[in-house]
Amino acid sequence: MGIFDFFRPKAADAIPLSKKANGQVIHFLGGGDTGWMKRNGRAYAREGYSINVVVFRCVDIISKSMGMIPVELVDVKTGKEVDNHPIKDLLLQPNPYQGWSSFIAAATSFRLITGAGPIEALRQGRGLDGSPDGTGEPVALLPWRPYNIEPLLGKTGDGCWETLRGYKFEEGNCRRIWEVNPLTGQSNLLHWHTFDPVRPYTGMSPLEAAAWSVDQHNSSSEWNQSLLKNSAQPSGALVLPAGSVLSDDQYADLKDQIREEHSGANNAGEPLLLGGGMEWHPMALSPKDMDWLAGRKIAAGEIAGAYGVPLQVIPIPGEQTFANYQEARLALLEDTVIPLMDDFLDELNHWLLPMYGLDQTKVQLQMNLNDVPALASRRKERWEMVNSSNLLTIDEAREAIGYDPLNVTGSDQLWVPSGKLPLDLSAGLPTGATEGANAPEQAPTAEEGAATATAEGANVQATALNGGQVTALQGLLTSVANGTLTEEAAVIAITLSFPLFDEDDVRAMVASAATTTPPPEEQTEEEIAEGLQEQGFTAEKARKWAASLVSKSC
């Protein structure tokens, strides 16, 4: 007896149909006892998957989504796909009757319905006639129905632990046993199952946790169907006056009349003609009183919750809009399908790879999520995040989005914006120099390009600099030429801002700038300010700096 069976109505407790009860009650219309789903795999398949639309949709969308995810054999060290291996041909067509998508959908569906999705490996050395299991490479993978597969258990020497010795299938004249190696766990049968705290080698169906909700949802559908058959009227009773009793023939005739003339959709709305003082008494609540629709929706939500499926992707009225469907689809993939696929591949790596002599620490079956169309928005977010990051080299950024590294000069070095300087260094620079380094990136003018080209070594890696970087470099060299920045400070600033520059080239540029003839002393304050603005200084800073230079020269 189940833990809640005590509360369920038993056949002996049901109120029987009767032609009289104290000489008054004649007949009940509609109603009937509620059927409760049995707790076994066949009942889950029949009463859960086969007749409950919510269960069917949950199982169908998860299993089909599993088949959409490409699987690759990957070298763990290099992260690259292994080519030309027989296991890839096996996964492409696991058996003569199924491709990969239908195979994984079948195994997943069995697991979602019953809690287990057994898969047998037909290996070289074993025939379909039931000859002993082979030990060669697999030639086919077959999903089995889990209903009659049971674990064969033993005990450890001290009797404290159960050990798995094998699995047994028995149905009619068919009997199969798959042995399990107690040391390695290897067997020709993969019993892919969920966690079950009571039967750890069997698996627990999600429908076992959602059984009450499935029962309620099915019963509400049956109740609605029965209501339509009974002229959309609830159950009730015909009551005779006290002391009146119908004969057996009268009772039978009245039942036949009610069944033929007042039941079914074709008789909806037909009035019930009563005579002999009979009265009609409703015996059930109306759909409004039972909050029927709300109850169905709650039951559907509990079923979907047991499977990890958002309500927006199953047929629940009022839950679907285009925007929330897209988000729900992503949530289904990320929270349910991908973890389930990861669990399956983990089992497959442990079970299938050793049959080919492969070490799962060196090669593994892995998902290729880059080819899943539904995850395109997530890939776009990742691309934008990697592209805007200043903490990755070019090769690291390419690897982060699934591309091979370039392995060229500079691709393994960290690139940062040229305007970024250490705080302690920027404090020693003139205001104009730091502002020039942070100036907006824009193409240099012809005069700026010519001035930059005249400095010795200024063309070093010039093709790697953009307009803003050239402007910042020119500002630093101009500060050296004006004597407002020491040569050593300029060398440090340029080396940090332009890591691709060779230090000797930097020192050559700085030395050349230091020997440049400074502006003539007779320049006016306005002329100096105009020259500083051409170098990227703001008008206010240029005037202040020009005034400072003029005051020093005085």
**Is 60 exceeded by the pLDDT of residue 352?**
yes
pLDDT band at 442 (very low <50, low <70, confident <90, very high): very low
- Tokens 């009225």 correspond to 317
Q: How many CB atoms lie within 10 A of CB 528?
A: 21
Listed range (42-56, 99-113, 291-305, 504-518) with the worst mean pLDDT: 504-518
**Is 60 exceeded by the pLDDT of residue 27?**
no
Q: Is there a contact between 151 and 179 (Cβ–Cβ < 8 Å)?
A: no
Q: Is there a contact between 27 and 238 (Cβ–Cβ < 8 Å)?
A: yes
- Transcribe 316-341 into DSSP letters: -TT---HHHHHHHHHHHIIIIIHHHH
Q: Is there a contact between 538 and 435 (Cβ–Cβ < 8 Å)?
A: yes
- What is the rounded radius of gyration, in angstroms, for the C-alpha atoms of the chain? 40
**Is 80 exceeded by the pLDDT of residue 57?**
yes
Q: What is the pLDDT of residue 15?
A: 33
Q: Which of 60-74, 255-269, 420-434, 504-518 reaches the highest mean pLDDT? A: 60-74
CA-CA distance, 269 to 231, in Å (whole number)? Answer: 6
Listed range (180-194, 314-328, 425-439) with the worst mean pLDDT: 425-439
Q: What is the dihedral of CA 421, 422, 428, 433, to 10 degrees?
A: 10
Listed range (123-137, 177-191, 419-433, 500-514) with the worst mean pLDDT: 419-433
CA distances from 358 to 73, 142, 347, 369, 439 (A): 11, 21, 14, 24, 57
> What token pair was written down for 114?
């019953």
Q: What is the pLDDT of residue 397?
A: 83
Q: What is the pLDDT of residue 269?
A: 55
> What token pair was written down for 447?
């005069």
> What token pair was written down for 291?
């909050």
**Is 50 exceeded by the pLDDT of residue 31?**
no
CA 329, 331, 332: angle at the middle one, nearest 5?
65
* pLDDT tens string 360-373: 899 999 999 888 88
* pLDDT tens string 176-219: 899 998 888 899 999 999 998 888 888 999 999 888 888 888 88
Q: What is the pLDDT of residue 306?
A: 92
CA-CA distance, 505 to 491, in Å (whole number)? Answer: 10
pTM here? 0.61
Q: State percent of the chain over pLDDT 70.
A: 67
Q: Is there a contact between 379 and 387 (Cβ–Cβ < 8 Å)?
A: no
> What token pair was written down for 71?
């699987």
**Is 80 exceeded by the pLDDT of residue 79?**
yes
Element (H, E) at 122: strand 116-123
Q: What is the pLDDT of residue 516?
A: 64
Q: Is there a contact between 475 and 535 (Cβ–Cβ < 8 Å)?
A: yes
**Is 90 exceeded by the pLDDT of residue 66?**
yes
Q: What is the pLDDT of residue 213?
A: 87
SS3 label, residue 29: strand
292's CB contacts (< 8 A; 6+ apart) are: 220, 223, 224
Q: Which of 394-403, 426-435, 528-537 reaches the highest mean pLDDT? A: 394-403
**Is 60 exceeded by the pLDDT of residue 554?**
no
SS3 label, residue 2: coil
CA-CA distance, 373 to 353, in Å (whole number)? Answer: 29
Q: What is the pLDDT of residue 417?
A: 65
Q: Is there a contact between 45 and 56 (Cβ–Cβ < 8 Å)?
A: no
pLDDT band at 398 (very low <50, low <70, confident <90, very high): confident
Q: Which of 15-24, 466-475, 488-497 reaches the highest mean pLDDT? A: 488-497
The mean pLDDT value for 261-277 works out to 61
Q: What is the pLDDT of residue 477?
A: 80
pLDDT band at 535 (very low <50, low <70, confident <90, very high): low
CA-CA distance, 207 to 521, in Å (whole number)? Answer: 91
Helix spans in 291-393 (H)? 292-307, 322-332, 338-351, 376-387
The mean pLDDT value for 126-143 works out to 71
Categorise residue 269: left if φ over 0, alpha if ψ from -120 to 50, beta otherwise. Answer: left
Q: What is the pLDDT of residue 174?
A: 85
In whole numbers, what is the pLDDT of the chain averaged over residues?
A: 75
SS3 label, residue 184: coil
**Is 70 exceeded by the pLDDT of residue 20?**
no
Q: Is there a contact between 166 and 91 (Cβ–Cβ < 8 Å)?
A: no
Q: What is the pLDDT of residue 367?
A: 93
Q: Which amino acid, one-letter code, is at 329?
A: R
The mean pLDDT value for 46-70 works out to 92
Strand partners, 362: none
Q: What is the pLDDT of residue 212?
A: 87
Instruction: Kindly give the interhelix angle for 53-68 and 292-307, rounded to the nearest 10 degrees.
Output: 30
- Tokens 């509990």 correspond to 302
User: Which of the pair, 445 or 517, is modelled with greater confidence?
Assistant: 517
User: Which of the pair, 78 or 245, is modelled with greater confidence?
Assistant: 78
Q: Is there a contact between 168 and 146 (Cβ–Cβ < 8 Å)?
A: no
* pLDDT tens string 166-182: 999 988 888 889 999 88
